[in-house]
Amino acid sequence: MSRFDSYFLMKEEDVFDYVQEKTNFFPKTAKPVCKEIGDGNLNYVFRIFDEVSGKSIVVKQAGSTLRISKEMSLNIDRGKIEAQILGIQGELSPGLVPKVYLYDETMCAIIMEDMIGHEMMRTGMVNHHIYPEFSEQISTFLVNSLLLTTDVVIGHKEKKKLVKTFINPELCEITEDLVFSEPYLNYNDRNQIYPPNQEFIEKEIYGDKELHLEAAKLKFEFMNNAQALIHGDLHTGSVFINKDHTFVFDPEFACYGPMGYDIGNVLANLFFAWCNGDAMIASSTEKTAFCGWCLKSIEEVVDKFVEKYDKAFDRYVKDEMAKTDGFKEYYLSQILSYTAGTTGLELIRRIAGLAKVKDITSIEDETKRTRAERICLTLAKECIKKRDSFTSGAAYMKAIRKAVEAFGVYDSVIPEKKCILDYDTVALDEENHALVIIDQTKLPYEVKILSLTKQKEIWDAIYLLQVRGAPAIGVAAAIGIYLGAREIWENQKKEWDEEQMKSASCQEQKCQASSAQAAASKEEKVFEDFYQQFKKAKDYLDSARPTAVNLSWALNRMEQVVLSNKGKSIDEIISLLHDEAVEIREEDIRVCKSIGEYGLTLVKPGDGLLTHCNAGQLATVRYGTATAPMYLGQEKGYHFKIYADETRPLLQGARLTSFELYDSGLDVTLLCDNMSATAMRNGWINAVFVGCDRVAANGDTANKIGTSMVALAAKRYGIPVYICAPTSTIDMNTPTGEEITIEQRKPEEVTEMWYSKRMAPEGVKVFNPAFDVTDHDLIAGIVTEYGVAKPPYTESLKDIFMKKEIAKTVKKVMKEL
């Protein structure tokens, strides 16, 4: 009979005998050294090292009570679930989870692989160690262990069996109490609060009823959303790590729950490490390195998860309904929202609840610890209350900066504040062969960068106004059709290679002349097949927005590259399309700057300028059109006072123009659309600058709906209205505004968008044109890159195009020289 035939809580001197009895891992000649290394609140973890063989192993035993509170009794058999979970996670994320050798139901102990050469991550980070591979490896673990256990991937019956198997009511109840409830209400009177922050927590946490409501929503989603097999307690005490490798272990809280719960725990614990480094590191160089790495890791964990999720979803999803267009994005948005919410919950419960983290408690200076805790709580409230806006790593950086600034930056290492002008509105990612844009539907809450490679993605981006503004649409279309042509040619080459393989033996028998003739015929067919598919792709992109002339202008220009180089190989044509797309983009920058310089000649320092919709940098590659004089004026110290109409119904003026101008440091005031006439009457406006989507030969101008109303009011008060128009936006083949097609958009943009609930009765008719036409007699001048056209426009616009032709001829001659 063995002393290990009945349960007791082992001590260090017991563990080697236990392992020897249960396994053949160590030789009989072993000289063991055993040490208890547990850092969590539930279990006892022993490492045994043999000084003779150098072998080591880990034994983890469940205790019958919490280590931090003997009042809370626990089921000692909970390790069985953990052992099973480690097996599953090890299969899904090989190499990132320790191997399990044995689970002993009597002693409630797991014998597992020793993660030798690794250290507990929390211990390492309290000592300010940096782990360069962590974000890459933990994001892989999160995607594999979470997504691949959902019922979008595995069969519904199989998933339900797993849910039943891994019901973990006892430990889930601890989570529900210690994470979701007690930190806000303290109804068990066991929250441990750092005395200097008692009053702050009573006001900001206990007293914030809105916060309580959001925490309650998150709690009941945790209890009812059996989405994926989650680790359940993925903090840095559940990670063993070195600079090259990561192990995730200790999943005793595992159950089926929301995927974001695991991700949010990782993010919050990285921020605790930042707080420790911020408070404890004296050397500015070391602080910059460690705290900068913590912030970078937070950002990368989010962004790499999103990137890997996207690929894994496409590869593994099996449920047919989950393959519906838009579901992948919806599913991700729910995950990311819960991730942010959990980040906030973890930050709060470690400050205001029972269980603490060494990252915070080891900060000895009272002032620094008080500040660190308040930063955590402030960030937490932002993450919980505004969780739907946390869809990228950049959103966390913005929130962290805001939370730190609320308590004084001092010498803290905080995320760099990026102005919207620091981002490319539209660009070509050469390495990944992708169109890169700012998703303007997310502004101003979030700067989200989209990387688009498929033609449908690019069409959707144009139609859904993720990229918008005539010049930006033109550049996006040029890059998009280049990428489309590249894809067409790759596919076509594969088809031709297969055909060549089939006919190779026949061709060997033909005469040389016949072969030459066949080769020439083949080249013609290759081009014709390529061009037909190119034309189809071009027409498809052109259908996304009918009013913006730059869309068809850019696509026609790209088509001309194909047609004028028919005698060249397709590889050469693809290269020329690339160069043309890049030139169209660079050209847009030069054009906008020139428009800005001509526009500045029409105003004086200190003027009040009104603009409608967004013809800013967000509508172009750089500078914008209507905003170009404003940005160039800022560089010259003109100190304009700018007024931006909100621009109903899509609010481009509020969301985009006021955002980019304010973010860039200009003096901007936002107006409702029906207030611009009052601003004019008050004498605040000296000139109106707007962009355009199409200008007819007589000067009639199509621009965002509401522009003509502004022009009529300006005419009444004697204020000049200037249209800022690249010549690519001027359509000399359209005689007047009567011939311009006006896009009609969905009624929901008027009745529902931006509102928490519908703001108009069901069934009411809605008129929702995207644009209106401003008559030429209301326009004082059309500002182009070749000068300012004045009435009569039928003549002055011809002069502008003559200057353009002269410039093109000079450029061509200079190039030939």
Contacts of 169 (CB under 8 A, 6+ apart): none
Which residue, chain included where needed, has tokens 């930056």?
409
Retrieve residue 63's tokens: 């205790």
**Distance between CA atoms of 766 and 745, rounded to whole angstroms?**
10
**Phi, psi torsion values for 810, nearest 5 degrees:** -60, -45
Retrieve residue 729's tokens: 């936006």
Cβ atoms 639, 605 nearer than 8 A: yes
Helix 134-142 and helix 284-316, axial crossing angle in degrees, nearest 10: 30
**Of the residues 278, 693, 700, 772, which is catalytic?**
693
Which residue, chain included where needed, has tokens 């080891």?
362
The region, left, alpha or beta by phi > 0 then psi within -120 to 50, assigned to residue 250 is: left
Helix, coil or strand: residue 343: helix
Cβ atoms 773, 692 nearer than 8 A: no
**Distance between CA atoms of 686 and 787, rounded to whole angstroms?**
21
Q: 634-640, long-range: CB within 8 Å, 24+ apart, which pairs? A: 634/664, 634/665, 634/666, 636/600, 637/605, 638/600, 638/603, 638/604, 638/605, 638/606, 638/607, 639/605, 639/606, 639/667, 640/603, 640/605, 640/606, 640/607, 640/608, 640/609, 640/666, 640/667
**Distance between CA atoms of 500 and 183, rounded to whole angstroms?**
71
Q: Is 253 exposed, middle or buried (0-12, 13-18, 19+ CB in 10 A)?
A: buried
**Distance between CA atoms of 644 and 610, rounded to whole angstroms?**
6
Type of residue at 476: A
Tell me the β-bridge partners of 690: 723
**Distance between CA atoms of 619 and 601, rounded to whole angstroms?**
22
Retrieve residue 332's tokens: 């991700």
Which residue, chain included where needed, has tokens 């850092």?
39
Cβ atoms 394, 590 nearer than 8 A: no
Which residue, chain included where needed, has tokens 């359209």?
734
**Distance between CA atoms of 639 and 641, rounded to whole angstroms?**
7
Q: CA of 707: how far to CAs of 66, 310, 613, in Å? A: 67, 40, 8
Q: What is the DSSP string of 610-632?
A: EE-S--SGGGSSSS-STTHHHHH
Helix, coil or strand: residue 772: strand
Torsion angle of the four alpha carbons 545, 547, 549, 552, in this order, in degrees rounded to the nearest 10:
40
Q: Tell whether the torsion through CA atoms of 292, 298, 303 and 309 is positive or negative.
A: positive
Buried b (16+ CB within 10 A) or exposed e, 401-437: bebbeeeeeeebbbbeeeebbebbbbbbbeeeebbbb
Catalytic site includes residue 303: no
Contacts of 724 (CB under 8 A, 6+ apart): 595, 599, 615, 625, 626, 628, 629, 689, 690, 691, 692, 783
Q: CA of 288: how far to CAs of 130, 273, 292, 360, 414, in Å? A: 12, 13, 5, 19, 9
**Distance between CA atoms of 180 and 774, rounded to whole angstroms?**
57
SS3 content of the chain, % helix, strand, coil (to 5): 55, 15, 35
Catalytic residues: 693
